[in-house]
Amino acid sequence: MDDYNLPFWIYLAVVTVFVGGAMKKILASHLSAGPTLVAWLGATVLVERLWAFCLPAVLLLVLLAVVYCVRSDSGTGLPAQGKAVFITGCDTGFGNAAAKHLDSLGLDVFATVLDLTGDGARALRRSCSSRLTLLQVDITQPQQVQQALLDTKAKLGLRGLWGLVNNAGVCVNLGDAELSLMSNFRGCMEVNFFGTVSVTKSFLPLLRQAKGRIVNISSPAAPSSNNAYWEQQHQQLLQSLPPALMEEYGEDYITETKDLFQSFAEHANPDLSPVVDAIVHALLSPQPQARYYAGPGIGLMYFIHSYCPLSISNRFLQKLFVKKTLMPRALRKQSGLEANLSLNNNNEEKLQPL
């Protein structure tokens, strides 16, 4: 065992994966095994030659990438004083936490909220300095966006805007598409897409003036930790669903879907610092990244989703998120019918005379 070095074990692992993939393809193929076997063994031999030739270069590239990442994060950030940032969606969550932290660093923060008298706005007033400017903005309303632009211009003067953080977003429904209302899809697009585009287009002149940066935040489950939200969505769905669809899916299936997303609250991480730190790095780092995966394990999840075969990524995401035990009522009936037919066929075969 001591005679084998690390490259050998890496090479052995790669060859094992290819040979295992070849056997899986052969066993699952509906065609003749001969062409499949030849193709996969040929690919294995080719990869063997390429791997033996390229392994030193690959290891060198990995080493250089690690050194680059360490050096890029070791430098000091850009000065915060004198810079202004505009953040949408600061009533709660990431926007609220980011506004507080950026204010503590010395930036001039323009924070938008839906309600100037709400809990989030009051919390920002209590904890932030006089540099903070609160603006009541619904980003789906162009008039409010333009008024926010005028107010921001008036305060900035000739300085320009260093950062725009598009944080405002909603997650109006998670579940089967057939059970989702079209108004939910439209509402989601109005806020998450068209609202973001509207704010960005409006503030681009101020950003150009300061040669600033745009930070877009995306989350697939913004309000999933809010149990009251899911209860409201559940009741709205039950009241608006056509009787035919209710019969096809069953109320127990719909309730289990709601319970699934409510259960996310039990495992949600209350620490928002990974997201806030990513926002700060994107705004003040001399070398900001094009994309940030904030939180432990998020980068691995997106890597599997982006680069692994679809069957693997689907199974991974299903095991991680869709832990459901029920099927829609129509599928349960169909499965029960098929099971009964199979049982009847077996009984008929047993009853046939010899």
Residue linked to tokens 């309730």: 255
Q: What is the dihedral of CA 60, 66, 69, 73, to 10 degrees?
A: -140
Ramachandran region, residue 175 (left: φ > 0; alpha: ψ -120 to 50; beta: rest): left
Structure tokens at 282: 């994107």
Better-scored residue on pLDDT, 130 or 269: 130
Q: What pLDDT score does 48 carry?
A: 56
Residue 99: pLDDT above 80?
yes
* Position with higher pLDDT, 319 vs 39: 319
What is the sign of the dihedral through the CA atoms of 173, 174, 176 and 177? positive
Phi, psi (rounded to 5 degrees) for 108: -85, 115
SS3 109: strand
Residue from 169, 178, 274, 267 nearest 223 by CA? 169
* pLDDT higher than threshold 90 for residue 7: no
**Which of 89-103, 157-171, 193-207, 301-315 is the least confident region?**
301-315
Weakest mean pLDDT among 156-160, 206-210, 250-254, 322-326: 322-326
Mean pLDDT over all residues of the chain? 79
Q: Count CB atoms within 10 A of the CB of residue 253.
A: 21
Residue partners of 186: CB distance under 8 A and separation at least 6: none
**What pLDDT band is residue 12 in, cutting at 50, 70 and 90?**
low
Percent of the chain with pLDDT over 90: 37
Q: pLDDT band at 251, cuts 50/70/90?
A: confident
Helical axes 298-307 vs 310-321, angle rounded to 10°: 140
The token pair that represents 30 in the structure block: 């509906």
214 or 346: which leads in pLDDT: 214
Nearest to 18 by CA among 42, 44, 37: 44
> What's the whole-number mean pLDDT along residues 77-95?
93
**What are the strands of the beta sheet with 84-87, ordered from one edge?**
133-136, 108-113, 84-87, 163-166, 213-216
pLDDT tens figures, 110-166 = 999 999 999 999 999 999 999 999 999 999 999 999 999 999 999 998 899 999 999
**Pair type for strands 163-166 and 213-216:** parallel
Instruction: Indicate the range of 63-77, 109-123, 201-215, 224-238 predicted with least confidence.
Output: 63-77
**pLDDT of 199 strictly over 90:** yes
Contact between 191 and 140 under an 8 Å Cβ cutoff? The reply is yes
| pLDDT range class, residue 31, cuts 50, 70, 90 | very low
Q: Is the pTM of this model over 0.85?
A: no
Give me the pLDDT at residue 257, please: 78
Residue 287 sits at the vertex; the CA angle it makes with 284 and 288, to the nearest 5 degrees, is 65
Mean pLDDT of 223-245: 75
The reported pLDDT for the residue numbered 30 is 46
Between 170 and 94, the higher pLDDT residue: 94
Question: Which comes out higher in pLDDT, residue 332 or 190?
Answer: 190
pLDDT band at 177 (very low <50, low <70, confident <90, very high): confident
> Does 228 or 41 have the greater pLDDT score?
228
The secondary element (H helix, E strand) that includes residue 231 is: helix 227-240
Check whether 29 has a pLDDT greater than 50. no
Contact between 222 and 170 (Cβ < 8 Å): yes
Largest CA distance in the chain: 98
pLDDT tens track for 288-324: 999 898 877 777 777 777 777 888 878 877 776 666 6
Domains within the chain, CATH numbers bracketed: 6-74 (no CATH), 76-222 (3.40.50.720)
